[in-house]
Amino acid sequence: MTGAQVTLCFLLRASDGAEEVLLGLKKTGFGTGKIVGVGGHLEQGESAAQAICREVAEEVGITILTEQLIPAGTVEFVFPARPEWDMFTTVYLCRDYVGKAVESEEILPHWYPVQKLPHDRMWADATHWVPAFLAGEHGTWRIVMNPDNESVASSTHSL
């Protein structure tokens, strides 16, 4: 496990017989301009579950409780050319929440069909692990990025 401790949550809903996931256009900070999952860094003394409840409320105005979270797994991101970007991410799903997604200073939220994710606007690594988590798979991924910090050098998965 390397890098900053972060957490992500994929909020899911049924819409016209299809499942949708809440993602957002990152407006500031790391990943600006990309479509990303909702989440962020753990603050001092927070668990990953506590942090994601706070982050979801701050970024998209939706309230979730820790007992509503569905643990999905982890993703370790390694940036050999920029080790300060390394992250260890705890990932959750959530189907039970309160509120409507609203724009914040950091995220412009949008619901996407799970079967039609905007991969061309996401980090290149997203194709390796996001669909698996959204399909209900559990596990641990380790993503090593190339020196360009954009493309994937390797992706490993274990249960």
Mean pLDDT of the chain: 95
pLDDT given for residue 121 in this prediction = 97
- pLDDT of 1 reads 59
pLDDT given at position 30? 86
pLDDT at 159: 78
56 in Cβ contact with 12 (< 8 Å):
no
Q: How many CB atoms are closer than 10 A to CB 151?
A: 11
* CA distances from residue 74 to 89, 99, 100 in whole angstroms, order as listed: 5, 26, 27
Residue whose structure tokens are 């999952």: 37
* Residues of the chain where predicted confidence (pLDDT) is lower than 70: 1-2
The HSE-up count of residue 55 (CA atoms within 13 Å, CB side) is 26
0.75 surpassed by pTM: yes
Task: Express each pLDDT in 39-63 by its tens digit.
Answer: 999 999 999 999 999 999 999 999 9
Kindly report the CATH class assigned to 4-113+122-158.
alpha beta
Locate the domains of the chain by residue range. Answer: 4-113+122-158
Write down how long the chain is: 159
Question: For residue 52, what are its two tokens?
Answer: 């994601």
